[in-house]
Structure 1
Amino acid sequence: MKNFGSLILGILLGALAMYFYCSKDADKTEGPVAVAAPYGIISPAKIDSLTQAYNQRHKIISDSLFKKSKTKDNRSSWYKLEVIEDYIKYAKHQASENKYTMDGLRLYLGAYPDVSAEEPGLTTLLFVPTGYKNTSEGSFFSMQGRSNDLDDSDGLNLGKEGMPPGANYPQ
């Protein structure tokens, strides 16, 4: 009976300790959580500056290739957030199956084939996974330098063009 009393006392003390331990963690999560800005964040003013600097190039492209077209070339592509998140999961899985470690995404400008002489194909933005070949698991010397395109992995396309396609930042 003495052992049974010790068992009950141990369970009560353990439950009490867990209560205080868990309530201490709960106090930490209350209030706003600070999120660090990732490398490369730029302000809306900088976005505006960079897109304005592209105006001359866009004008040259539009004036030479789209002079007979009813629309101007694309200046942007829009992707639904869930599509990008799903693509990243898919690309990581595909890279792993191909024995690569995916470490990033590279964006390429592309263009659709011309519809006709009067309707050239619009510019599009493509996501391509990047990474490196898995050489050996747990090796200290497997550190890689430059990240390469995973050319046996699928990319992402079919974002929605801006409205109108030639519209500059902000839309």
Structure 2
Amino acid sequence: MKNLRPLILGIIIGALATYFFCPRQAVEDSTLEIVKVIKPKGVISVDKAKALNKNWTDYREAAVDSAARKQGRNKDDRSVWWSIDDIENYIAYSKQQTDSLGYDMTGFRVYLGVYGKNAGQSKKNLTTMFMVPTVGKSIQKAGVNLFNVNMQGNGDCPTCPPLNEGTGGGGGYPQ
């Protein structure tokens, strides 16, 4: 029994020394990841958005809605909504498309469009919006230009499918 005490004490001291002096790997916790959010250029105040919307109403609504009335509708759409999932998926899809084509994706451009008379009764001749990825210079490999792209700044990707089919909105920005 007297010989066991030093042995047990040695094991305890060894375990404590190992615990305190041996390096441990940091426990990774993905919930603690800090993401720095940067306010994009061009973010405007709510008051500025209301003023822009009021200007559209004052200067464009009558002409646009008169065209809609010719088609049997009281008002035309004046906004389009896409879900966060649709937008995030489209960003990822566009990056994949532009990369596979050898382009450097730089952003998106949003266009106004009109469905036309053959779009079905719910969309016939109504306004829509669609977005297209923009690209800068083409990526060069081994000094060879993969595409003959002569762009000053950000041009539309000529072969990338645009995103459309958002949900049409109506009444304008909330006052």
Q: State which of 54, 57, 77 in structure 2 corresponds to 1:74.
A: 77
Q: 1:49 to 1:138 in 2, by over 3 A?
A: farther
Report the Cα offset of residue 132 of structure 1. Answer: 2.3
Q: State which of 27, 39, 42 in structure 2 corresponds to 1:40.
A: 42
Report the Cα offset of residue 33 of structure 1. Answer: 7.0
Q: 1:39 to 1:137 in 2, by over 3 A?
A: farther
TM-score normalised by length of structure 1 = 0.71
Which structure dedicates a bigger proportion of its chain to helix?
A: 1
Counterparts of 1:23-34 in structure 2 under 5 Å? none
Report the Cα offset of residue 34 of structure 1. Answer: 6.2
Write the distance in 1 (CA, Å) between the matches of 2:156 and 2:125: 25
User: What letter matches 1:14 in structure 2?
Assistant: P
Matched, 1:85 2:88: yes
Residue identity over aligned pairs, in percent, reads 32
Partner of 2:8: none
TM-score normalised by length of structure 2 = 0.70
Please report the RMSD computed on the Cα atoms of aligned residues, expressed in angstroms: 3.4
Q: Is the 8 A contact 1:99 1:133 kept in 2?
A: no
Q: Is the 8 A contact 2:81 2:168 kept in 1?
A: yes
Shift >4 Å, 4+ stretches:
none
Name the count of aligned residue pairs.
146
Partner of 1:130: 134
Q: 1:137 to 1:45 in 2, by over 3 A?
A: farther
Write the distance in 1 (CA, Å) between the matches of 2:35 and 2:64: 45
Q: State which of 78, 90, 103 in structure 2 corresponds to 1:100.
A: 103
Q: 1:135 to 1:92 in 2, by over 3 A?
A: closer
Partner of 2:168: 161
User: What letter matches 1:168 in structure 2?
Assistant: G
Structure 1: runs of 5+ lacking an equivalent: none
